[in-house]
Copies of this chain bind each other. A is one copy, B any other.
Amino acid sequence: MREAYRDQLGQLADALAEMCGMATTAIELATQALLTADLTLAEQVIADDAKLDEARSQGEEHAFALLALQAPVAGDLRNVVAALHAAESLERMGDLALHVAKTARRRHPQAVLPDEVAPYFVEMGRVASELGKQAEQVIRTRSVSLARQLEDADDEMDDLHRHLFTVLMQKDWKHGLPAAVDITLLGRFYERFADHAVSVARRVVFVVTGEHPQQADSGS
């Protein structure tokens, strides 16, 4: 029974890691769609989001079955509860990538990003992808030290986000208000993606150390 339980817990972690990989791919493709006004890519991200929703639903059922049939306690219980929370964050990361893709689709064939802000999104996309990959590794390895590294990448995202706003607020902005509104929301989507990745990693830290995670806040 104990052995079977461990196996199931391992499968649950694998499923979460896979969800994390899906969310990472989604933000990578959405960023590319945004930067290159690639409608096909945007449509792919939008269509693929249902798979992540389905994976979350399955993960939740799996966690549920573990709780009902095995009645875990202590560390094992913490593990399952963390998995439930992580699944929610991972689905949300997918939703945020979806929003980026939808913005690209809505403006197609126009590019959403003027030249002076595009580099910020190249960087925010890179950091988001890095955070997604790190979170996946944290789920797989339960490495507390790697989980702490996510905080650094998240700080980098916050810096990028702040600088982006500085550019937006400059007096000589000449791309009009609709572009500014899109960019404001896009910046927020990347920032929240990062927050959720950090939140997933913090949940793993909680499981490993018993130390209660702080809620990843949005810094605004």
Interface residues of chain A, those whose CB is within 8 Å of chain B, are 53, 56-57, 64, 67-68, 71, 73-74, 77-78, 81, 84-85, 88, 91, 95, 99, 102, 165, 168-169, 173, 177-178, 180-181, 184-185, 188, 212, 215, 217-218, 220
Contacts and interface: CB of A to CB of B under 8 A. Distances in A.
B81 A64 contact: yes
B95 A77 contact: no
How many copies of this chain? 2
15 contacts: A64-B78, A64-B81, A67-B67, A68-B73, A71-B71, A84-B85, A85-B88, A95-B217, A95-B218, A99-B218, A99-B220, A165-B181, A168-B181, A169-B177, A184-B184
B67 A77 contact: yes
B169 A178 contact: yes
